[in-house]
Structure formats: structure tokens, C-alpha cells
Amino acid sequence: MIEVKNLYKSFDGEMVLKDISATFESGIINQIIGKSGSGKTVLMKSIIGLFPIDSGQILYQERNLPNMNRNELKLLHQEVGMLFQGAALFDSMTVIENVMFPLEMFSKKSKQEMIERARFCLERVNLQPDTVSSLFPSEISGGMQKRVAIARAIALNPKYLFCDEPNSGLDPVTALVIDRLIEEITQEYNITTIINTHDMNSIMEIGAHIIFIEKGTKAWEGSKEEIFTANNEALEDFVFASNLYKKIRKTQQKTKNN
């Protein structure tokens, strides 16, 4: 698991994250949610180590990220998979080359072993290697690109998986498929998965553990079921902004009261 303790982060003297503490368990979907500008993206990038923090601890199984030296960071990076917003595949590389990229960077596998691993990962995300391996990202759909990006993210068999808005640009049906795929992989390999999202469908479908960030602070923490009974005005304004979700919440509350 990953533990964040009393994390503070500022930019140019302005405090962006204030005293954030949270525990992200393995084998479940952990989500960081919040409005644009709330600090949720900064929190994720701080946990990964892309942003140095002002103070606090980020513990990867008792290893404190801010105190790691270069060699320790290199070892940690080999345990981390990243699914970027928009897939972020290399346009000049084929599908199989994209999936093999982290293996070439961090593993000592032979060329044939890397190919076999990449093909396995493509199959795991329900893509046929013989069909898609030689194609370029521009030749496949957005949903397929996200699947390839997930295959690349799990190529090194990571302990930790970070997903930045994984459903960005996808239709609702495809977004649900990607959500379920990430959830399946998380449970199957007991990965500590953290998703940064504002997709309400995703939150309601797979949000086992949710951290709500409001103005740089942790304003609420709970599960998708507990959202409906949460007594937090900022969370209510964010989650139940649409009339549909307001009606769902009222129905849930009536059912509980009865």
C-alpha cells in the first residue's frame, strides 16, 4: 500500500496542498476526486514523485519517497505503471513497440522475451496481438488506444498503477469497459491503483476508496456507497451537480430511511 502523511505542497509561495493524509490499499480502486483546480492532480503527481513536496511523507511499503536516493528511485520506478490522460502512446511506434517500451527501458529481458511479454499484456486487455501489433496508434480507435496504454502500464508487472483521467475522450460505454478492465487487473494482480478522475460514472461504478480534495485539503474520504449519505456540502455540490444524481441520492436516502 501507499501511505501519505501530513503532505504539504506549494508553488511560488502559494500552498496548493495542505496537511493531506491518506492510505491507499492494494487490490481495490482508490480514486482522487475534486473540482478543476482543487489540487487532485498535484496530489497524484506528488505521490508519484513528479513534484517534490514541501514536507510530509509518501511511504511505499515503509519506503519514504522524499528520502530516496537515485538508485532507490530507479528501483521504485520499475514497480510503477502509469496510464496517462489521452493514452500518450508514441505515434511513431507500433502497438507492440509501445507496449515493449518500458521493458526496453527497465528490464533485462531478451528481445524475444519482451515480445512475448508484450503479446501477453495485449491479450490481457482483450486485444489480439496478431491483429494489432503492427498497427500504429493512429490506425486504432480511442478505446483500443487506452487498452494499449493499459497493456504498456502493466508490462513490468507493477505493484503500483496510477491512472490520470483514464476515461478522458471516451464514450460512456467504452469508458465503462476501461473502468472494469482496470478494476479486474487491480484485483487479479493485487495492485495498488490510484485513479485521478472527475467522471461520475466511474466514481459510482468502481470507487471502492475515494478521497475528495477541496481547495487543497482532504475534505472527505469514503466509498461510493457512503457518498449518498455523506454530510459534506462541497462533496454534494460536486457529486450531485446534475438533476439525475440528485434524484438518485434522494432515492438512496429514502431507501435507507425505510
pLDDT, one tens digit per residue, over 9-23 is 999 889 999 999 999
CB 225 within 8 A of CB 255: no
pLDDT of residue 236: 81
Report the C-alpha gap between 78 and 106 in whole angstroms.
6
**Is pLDDT of 244 > 80?**
no
- In tens, the pLDDT along 114-171 reads 999 999 999 999 999 999 999 999 999 989 999 999 999 999 999 999 999 888 888 8
The tally of domains found in the chain comes to: 1
CB 85 within 8 A of CB 149: no
Residue 23, in any domain of the structure: yes
pLDDT of residue 235: 85
CB 154 within 8 A of CB 121: yes
CB 78 within 8 A of CB 105: no
Residue 51, in any domain of the structure: yes
Residue 20 has phi, psi (to 5 degrees) of -85, 125
Residue 174, in any domain of the structure: no
**What value does the CA radius of gyration of the chain take, rounded to a whole number of Å?**
19
CB 121 within 8 A of CB 100: no
| Cβ neighbours for 180, distance < 8 A, ≥ 6 positions apart | 205, 206
pLDDT of residue 84: 84
Report the C-alpha gap between 128 and 149 in whole angstroms.
15
Task: Give me the helices (H) in the chain, please.
Answer: 40-48, 70-77, 95-106, 111-124, 129-132, 142-153, 172-189, 200-206, 224-227, 233-239, 243-257
pLDDT of residue 155: 93
Residue 108, in any domain of the structure: no
Bridge pairing between strands 217-222 and 209-214: antiparallel
Report the C-alpha gap between 12 and 213 in whole angstroms.
21
Residue 207 has phi, psi (to 5 degrees) of -75, 85
| Domain that includes residue 256, residue range | 1-79+192-258
Largest CA distance in the chain: 62
**Is pLDDT of 246 > 80?**
no
* Residue whose C-alpha is closest to residue 4's, from 217, 251, 198: 217
Residue 239, in any domain of the structure: yes
Which amino acid is present at 34? G
Residue 198, in any domain of the structure: yes
Bridge pairing between strands 2-11 and 55-60: antiparallel
CB 141 within 8 A of CB 134: no
Mean pLDDT of the residues in the chain: 89
- In tens, the pLDDT along 218-239 reads 999 999 888 888 888 888 888 7
Residue 12, in any domain of the structure: yes
Tell me, what CATH number does 246's domain have? 3.40.50.300
Beta pairing partners, 20: 7
Which one has a higher pLDDT value, 36 or 17? 17
Residue 31, in any domain of the structure: yes
What is the model's pTM? Answer: 0.88
